[in-house]
Structure 1
Amino acid sequence: MPSSADMSTTLDRILDAAADNLRIAKILVQMGLDPNNVTYDAIYNRLLEIFLHNITLANMFALVGAIFFVATLLTQTMVPLRVANMIGCAFFAIFGALTGAITTFLLYLLMVPINAYRLRQMLVLVKKARNATKGDTSMEWLKPFMTERKYRKGDVLFKKDDVANEMLLTVTGTFLVTEFGLEVPPGRLMGELGFLTPDNRRTATIECIEDGHVLTITYEKLLEIYFQNPQFGYYFLVLTSQRLLENLARAESALVQIKSAQQPAAASGKN
């Protein structure tokens, strides 16, 4: 194995060769070093001197802001990402104010309320999803993430076994689940089960029987919201489970009514 003296000699030769390079020599001169007399100790001491010289209040704010910016890149969910981004932007805005960089100050100052608005929007979404699991099954809290679509009487929104790629919320008008003869009034959800089925297929046919409009949201958007905040995903699954149980209860009730209507007819036939 080579001795430490040989290693030191090799490193010094590398430094001497690097110092002979014109570009590296210019960098060393800019750092305040002598290209003809470069050692690792000199480089280390010079870098330490530069670091200590640049420790200012403004740079400390910029350093903290950079730490929070890196944290946003490592964060997997949206709520902590927004919080980290807000804090980082606030520190960068202070840095811009202390250094007199107006552009930097205004840019990061503007990003603080934008992130705050998005954070509030997501927190409200999660809160209302949580309320939905406690009995409030209204889906109107999804409106900011949905787009409007109008239908006329006789229009078929989708048919059973069609490929499903979106969920709908009725706003006005009346719609009919043709397989079950069930009317869907305003404020009800349609097409959510296709989001949960393995092959994303429609489980029933929906027809418009009274002019109205709906709000739609794609399954891709639902997945995006879910991955941004898994807590929302949990509450959404609970909510859709409640919807499924409601549909099952309505179907059982309709089946009981049919059987009750058939019993008198069967009795009269025997007589």
Structure 2
Amino acid sequence: MNSNADFSTILDRILNTAADNFRIAKILVQMGLDPDNITYDALFNRLFEIVLANITLANMFALVGAIFFVATLLMQRMVPLRVANMVGCTFFAISCALSGSVATFLLYLLLLPVNAVRLRQLLKLVKKARNATRGDWSMEWLKPFMTERRYRRGDILFRKGDSATEMFLIATGKFLVIEIGVELPPGRFMGELGFLTPDNRRTATIECIEDGQVLTITYERLLEIYFQSDQQFGYHILLLTSQRLLENNQRLQGSISRLEAALAQEKAARQMAAARGTA
């Protein structure tokens, strides 16, 4: 009981002290102003004097660094964000060096190579994404972002209607799209349509018909790559899925044409049979 009372007393003292420190009158006194005789002109002049007194080379570099730091919060693309971050870290490091803050100087100095490495990775990613839209349909550049997985004959990768969370690239082996009876050889992507469906559901069932290895990448990682690069990567994904839809449409049209031809032949045979029966 006494411990609770002591804690309550200590908390009250802390709150009272904080409230006292934040009183307008005390703040004005600390600024060198008379709380009983305060005017806008006096307040403005005092603030102006404080600003002038703190204009140093170190503070100017810190101000520029702060501007670039705020700019990073407003940027939507990762590449310019990294560049602005590096510039801001440079100005902050110079400011710390001039003011003699060794620990903070080392912090911003270490952030520079970290941002430089990430920027280099992003630039390589953007370059590969742009090259992909110029006709490179293999998307081999995605492999460093993918993980390996093995399947044996008879394994089902996913079924139609399942929740879709990842895309596959066939490295070895063969896989069958059961609904349309199409075999997928190495180098083909699987599961990319689920990335664009509204409810992220599988549109077909895939079965392994020959032991093989696939590379997988989650849709979350694809979105991360998209937001870190540019719209061209998203455009290429749309081209990839559009190509698959066109191929499926051509197969469907071919199946319909064959079915129509078979029905026409069956109809002709029936007509011939009827004609012979009449004769």
- How does the TM-score come out when normalised to structure 1? 0.75
| Contact 1:169–1:216, Cα closer than 8 Å, also in 2 | yes
Identity over the aligned pairs, expressed in percent? 73
- Offset, 1:63: 0.9
| Contact 2:154–2:207, Cα closer than 8 Å, also in 1 | yes
C-alpha change, 1:246 and 1:83, in structure 2 (3 Å) is: farther
| Contact 2:133–2:232, Cα closer than 8 Å, also in 1 | no
| Contact 2:174–2:185, Cα closer than 8 Å, also in 1 | yes
- Offset, 1:137: 0.9
- Correspondence for 1:12: none
- Correspondence for 1:237: 238
Distance 1:112 1:253 in 2: 57
C-alpha change, 1:244 and 1:134, in structure 2 (3 Å) is: farther
Distance 1:122 1:77 in 2: 10
- Correspondence for 2:112: 112
SS of structure 2 residue aligned to 1:201: coil
- Correspondence for 1:154: 154
- Correspondence for 2:30: 30
- Offset, 1:255: 5.1
C-alpha change, 1:223 and 1:105, in structure 2 (3 Å) is: same
SS of structure 2 residue aligned to 1:157: strand
C-alpha change, 1:255 and 1:127, in structure 2 (3 Å) is: farther
Residue 118 of structure 2 is aligned to residue 139 of structure 1: no
For 2:130, the aligned partner's letter is R
Distance 2:161 2:100 in 1: 63
CA deviation map 1:13-55 (0-9, x unaligned): xxxxxxxx88444433432334554433222212111111211
For 1:238, the aligned partner's letter is L
For 2:155, the aligned partner's letter is D
| Contact 1:125–1:142, Cα closer than 8 Å, also in 2 | no
SS of structure 2 residue aligned to 1:214: strand
Distance 2:65 2:88 in 1: 4
Range with greater deviation from structure 2 (41-50 or 137-146)? 137-146
- Offset, 1:134: 2.2
Distance 1:230 1:131 in 2: 13
Distance 2:68 2:117 in 1: 19
- Correspondence for 2:64: 64
Distance 1:91 1:205 in 2: 56
For 1:175, the aligned partner's letter is F
Range with greater deviation from structure 2 (63-72 or 126-135)? 126-135
1:191-206 equivalences under 5 Å are 191-206=191-206
| Contact 1:139–1:187, Cα closer than 8 Å, also in 2 | no
Distance 1:119 1:215 in 2: 26
C-alpha change, 1:106 and 1:238, in structure 2 (3 Å) is: farther
Distance 2:87 2:158 in 1: 46
SS of structure 2 residue aligned to 1:242: helix
Distance 1:244 1:106 in 2: 54
- Correspondence for 2:75: 75
For 1:40, the aligned partner's letter is Y
Aligned-CA RMSD value: 3.5
For 2:191, the aligned partner's letter is G
Range with greater deviation from structure 2 (86-95 or 27-36)? 27-36
| Contact 1:175–1:208, Cα closer than 8 Å, also in 2 | yes
Aligned length: 248
- Correspondence for 1:101: 101
C-alpha change, 1:247 and 1:66, in structure 2 (3 Å) is: same
Range with greater deviation from structure 2 (203-212 or 48-57)? 203-212
Distance 2:162 2:34 in 1: 76
